[in-house]
Structure 1
């Protein structure tokens, strides 16, 4: 047989809160099985267990250092992608801001043709490098991009302001990470970290780093995810959610029966993806460039939860996200939807395998 070449595409996977490198083991195995000569998968291990309480910024720095050490050991690498679950999506967004290198004039000239075609297809422009490599895919699974301060963003609170207030007061249990998620961190008159992270703040190019990727994709659970709500994980305003599932955001949705979910979907079936290969992928929204009215001053002006959410949504929607909506409503594993979407543990979360395959099959290599 011929000699195999060294893979040139680095895929970095990032776990969520109290997670570990093993959480992405199933996806890593299938990435390598399908593209053994193209990809090397690095399951990040620098932010595991209780280290996930240290704060998004601290964990983002750790991840950035870990990525640089991997890249240094593999000079053959040319491309980089990130696949992150839950809180890991925020960690990855912080890390790429640290790893981002703006495009030089030479780079811009060389990539002009490619960028023009990307613009026509509503893809991110793809200028700049991440850790010296070409940014390809930035993919999040059930990530609380807007934080979890609002009862609408954390379904476990069941639409209760009383529970929301209690959770807000107990956010210290998750350390600095809890403060960041609940937008409670106020240091030196600065906006909360998650607000800083929706723009190029100081010398950290959060939005430019995201924009450098050829694809940005948000996988979200439509129902059954008691940790992260559909709106925050899909980066949508309520009126932008696919009409077919609008009822699922009512205050009592989390007690809605599987039968009622089924009826809603059945009436609106034409709006959904119907592919036997991916039974749990119910809706795919193609990326589109939006005309967003946003200025950096907005992150300083936002004070209430709803104002902060609106600013984060506006700014993050300057990125043409591809949105993939997932539903485990008929699965016995629906109660574990937050973990099933990534197949965290095969025994408990095997029904999410088709979602992982959907990601692998649509990946830009």
Structure 2
């Protein structure tokens, strides 16, 4: 049980219309909020993040801002055979958990399932999405071009200036991506599980009474530079930007947890059920939350 061992803080800095301001603006606000909480609670020694949907991208941006190099060094080092990790605002980084997060953006084929996988519709959506979702929409569809820079999500698969996106991810003891295998009409399985199409596993109904909606789990090791280059050649027919993001993000290890509500009465609300947004409406996802709790490192 985690009771009396953790302090749970639910972020309030990016609610309602503020979610349209862009991943970077929301990330800066979240970073400021985290610093404020830490300053109020000096007894805190460790930190973890759990984020849903676009919140996972915001959290990735925020930790890039909050990352501190180990002992003032410019990178993580192996000292005496021991890996010295950086910290998040001076705290030991433990769990980084995302739930139905579009890590690879929303521009690829079937990355936004409610567009039905029709290429023409997906192309139109990428051109007009900013009319509805403003700057955040541009970031999700990788159409942003701030001062001639590459799209933000592409920049976030590496350290970029004073934003240490990948160093921050690497600092955590574990990184976990929960993903809906289907019926999530907002975020596709591929983008939320950080996989290529060819890597999506075959899954079967869960036989677990405790976690009836967890249908597949895997632990992937981080890939080295040579393997990344080889994978890039093998998958040269895929979307170039998406491939670069897959390569960048899989340089660190991930635990992938695939979830299915295909037999649930609430399956068409899978994007909300997976995080039990409202218990009275989305209670069937409670086993997924229990899975997070049971595997949470403290």
**Fold conserved between structures, TM > 0.5:** yes
Is 1:171 aligned to 2:129, yes or no?
yes
Instruction: State the match for 1:64 in structure 2.
Output: 31
Native 8 Å contact 1:292 1:315 kept in 2:
no
Unpaired runs of at least 5, structure 1: 1-33, 116-125, 246-264, 267-272, 299-303
Paired residues of 2:100 and 2:177 also in contact (CA < 8 A): yes
Asked if 1:208 corresponds to 2:141, the answer is no
Q: CA deviation at 1:292?
A: 3.9
Q: CA RMSD in A?
A: 2.2
In structure 1, distance between residues paired with 2:29 and 2:123: 32
TM-score normalised per structure 2: 0.91
Query: Which structure has the larger Rg over C-alpha atoms?
Result: 1
- For each residue in 1:174-225, what CA deviation from the matched residue of structure 2 results, as whole angstroms up to 9, or x when unmatched? 0100000000101222100000000011111100000000000000000100
- C-alpha change, 1:225 and 1:351, in structure 2 (3 Å) is same
Distance 1:177 1:358, change over 3 A: same
Q: Give how far 1:163 is off.
A: 1.4
Q: Verify the 8 A CA contact 1:333 1:340 in the aligned structure 2.
A: yes
In the alignment of these two chains, the number of paired residues is: 289
Residue 289 of structure 1 and its aligned partner are, at CA, apart by: 2.8
Say which of 332, 337, 342 aligns to 2:275. Answer: 342
- Report if the CA contact (8 A) 2:77-2:85 is conserved: no
SS of residue paired to 2:220: coil
* Distance in 1 separating the partners of 2:157 and 2:12: 26
Q: 1:220–1:324: 8 Å Cα contact kept in structure 2?
A: yes
- Distance in 2, matches of 1:220 and 1:214, equals 20
Question: Are the aligned partners of 2:63 and 2:168 in contact in 1 as well (CA < 8 Å)?
Answer: yes
* Residue 101 (structure 2) pairs with residue 143 (structure 1): yes
Give the structure-1-normalised TM-score.
0.75
1:88 aligns with 2:46: no
Give the match for residue 284 of structure 2: 351
Q: Distance between the aligned counterparts of 2:79 and 2:6, measured in 1?
A: 23
For 1:89-168, list aligned pairs within 5 A. Answer: 89-104=56-71, 115=83, 127-168=85-126
Closer/same/farther in 2, CA of residues 46 and 105 from structure 1, 3 Å limit: closer
Deviates more, 1:53-62 or 1:144-153: 144-153
